[in-house]
Amino acid sequence: MNKLEQLRQRSLVVADTGDIEAIRRYRPHDATTNPSLLYKAAQLPQYQSHLLEALAWAERHGGDRSRLAAMKLAVAIGTEILDIVPGVVSTEVDARLSFDTRATVEYARQLIQLYEQAGIGRERVLIKIASTWEGISAAALLEREGIHCNLTLLFSFSQALACAEAGVTLISPFVGRILDWHKAKSGVDFTAEDDPGVASVRSIFEYYKSCDYDTVVMGASFRNTGEIEALAGCDRLTISPQLLQALEEDSGTLASGLPEQVAPQARPRQALSEAEFRYQLNADAMATEKLAEGIRNFVHDQEQLEQLLLQQAKEHEASDVATNS
């Protein structure tokens, strides 16, 4: 077996892409999307019909046309992905709401409503929310409503701990972005075994299992296949098409990865107050910087997506005028 097939025996493989053709090729169990991936997907010819349908829907519903169209487009692509994968798709809340619990909850409910109108049950959708205190608080409320959440932009143990205590379905610790920060600060080329991103996920995974938390750990944001192999055995791993291809083309033996079993330990679970969470996050320079940067980048790509939708609307309207004149 190639390394991708070996990996499937240890972890659930998730595709980190909105590219339908890549998802068909690599047959992942789930798929994750975000504004960056949706912006790339929206520029592909095969998605033009989804763009026009999203714009028409937004026009009928009034309000902020570009924001509504972006939401509708995310659900349309997610629905198409769910025709292929047997599991779930992750769809992200607008990152501009990362510090607004109430608005995040309302946005998530709207996404679920759109999926249900498309015939998709909420059990097949994970709502992606940034791992701010407000985001985690929103996820706790949503989980009680049966809306399952994927807490993203997670870089620290304090974020992971707060997510588990909130009862969220899944977390996405970002391996590669942690590595990026440490490489930039130290100038060191880390191996997979001493990779600080790998070490972070390993510690979270082992703590969750030892305390018997139900929250799923899904390693994300990989820079190389060595990081993926070092985390083989993690509950889920979300991987870009480029790295899926590299694993598929490698016929070697997969690295041993995480321990196959972590014995539960009789130790009390830790619960963080808001003040403790904010203090610990602030004390972690890497996590603070990467969380802020991640939110800024997702906001930028969300705005680019909305600009693309508005441009498409203008071009379509101009075409209609030319045709009717």
As a three-state string, the secondary structure of 41-81 is HHCCHHHHHHHHHHHHHHHHHCCCHHHHHHHHHHHHHHHHH
The confidence score (pLDDT) of residue 216 equals 98
**What average pLDDT score do residues 17-33 get?**
94
For the chain, the average pLDDT equals: 94
**Confidence check: pLDDT of 322 > 70:** no
3-class SS at 148?
Answer: coil
Instruction: Calculate helix-pair angle for 175-186, 285-324, nearest 10 degrees.
Output: 120
The confidence score (pLDDT) of residue 262 equals 77
The answer to whether 221 touches 294, Cβ cutoff 8 Å, is no
What sign for the dihedral angle of Cα 270, 273, 276, 279?
positive
Instruction: Calculate helix-pair angle for 48-61, 65-82, nearest 10 degrees.
Output: 130
Helices and strands, counts by H and E, the chain: 14, 8
CA 283 to chain CA centroid, nearest Å: 25
**What average pLDDT score do residues 284-291 get?**
98
- The rounded distance, in Å, linking the Cα atoms of 30 and 35 is 17
The model's confidence at residue 290, banded by pLDDT at 50, 70 and 90, is: very high
**Confidence check: pLDDT of 43 > 70:** yes
The confidence score (pLDDT) of residue 277 equals 98
The answer to whether 238 touches 85, Cβ cutoff 8 Å, is no
The confidence score (pLDDT) of residue 259 equals 87
DSSP state letter for 214: -
3-class SS at 261?
Answer: coil
Could you tell me the end-to-end alpha-carbon distance of the chain, in angstroms, rounded to an integer?
Answer: 61
The confidence score (pLDDT) of residue 179 equals 98
- Residue in the structure block whose two tokens are 């906001």: 299
The model's confidence at residue 62, banded by pLDDT at 50, 70 and 90, is: confident
- The rounded distance, in Å, linking the Cα atoms of 169 and 150 is 6
pLDDT in tens, 90-128: 999 999 999 999 999 999 999 999 999 999 999 999 999
Listed range (59-68, 134-143, 151-160, 299-308) with the worst mean pLDDT = 59-68
**Confidence check: pLDDT of 325 > 80:** no
The confidence score (pLDDT) of residue 63 equals 81
The confidence score (pLDDT) of residue 313 equals 84
pLDDT in tens, 137-180: 999 999 999 999 999 999 999 999 999 999 999 999 999 999 99
The answer to whether 109 touches 147, Cβ cutoff 8 Å, is yes
Question: pLDDT > 90: what percent of the chain?
Answer: 82
**What average pLDDT score do residues 255-261 get?**
89
Query: What is the pTM for the complete model shown?
Result: 0.94
Give the amino acid at 276: E
Give the amino acid at 226: G
**What average pLDDT score do residues 53-58 get?**
93
The confidence score (pLDDT) of residue 323 equals 67
**Confidence check: pLDDT of 249 > 70:** yes
- The rounded distance, in Å, linking the Cα atoms of 153 and 53 is 30
| Residues of the chain by 3-state class (helix, strand, coil), percent to 5 | 60, 10, 30
The confidence score (pLDDT) of residue 189 equals 92
- The token pair at 248 is 């598929």
The confidence score (pLDDT) of residue 150 equals 98
- The rounded distance, in Å, linking the Cα atoms of 92 and 75 is 10
The confidence score (pLDDT) of residue 121 equals 98
The confidence score (pLDDT) of residue 82 equals 97
Give the amino acid at 303: E
Higher pLDDT, 211 or 106: 106
The confidence score (pLDDT) of residue 263 equals 72
**What average pLDDT score do residues 253-279 get?**
86
- The rounded distance, in Å, linking the Cα atoms of 207 and 13 is 22
**Confidence check: pLDDT of 320 > 70:** no
Q: Which residues are catalytic?
A: 128
- The rounded distance, in Å, linking the Cα atoms of 192 and 189 is 10
The confidence score (pLDDT) of residue 236 equals 98
- The rounded distance, in Å, linking the Cα atoms of 270 and 259 is 23
At 321, which helix (H) or strand (E)?
Answer: helix 285-324
- The rounded distance, in Å, linking the Cα atoms of 131 and 113 is 23
How many Cβ atoms sit within 10 Å of the Cβ of residue 67?
18
**Confidence check: pLDDT of 316 > 80:** no
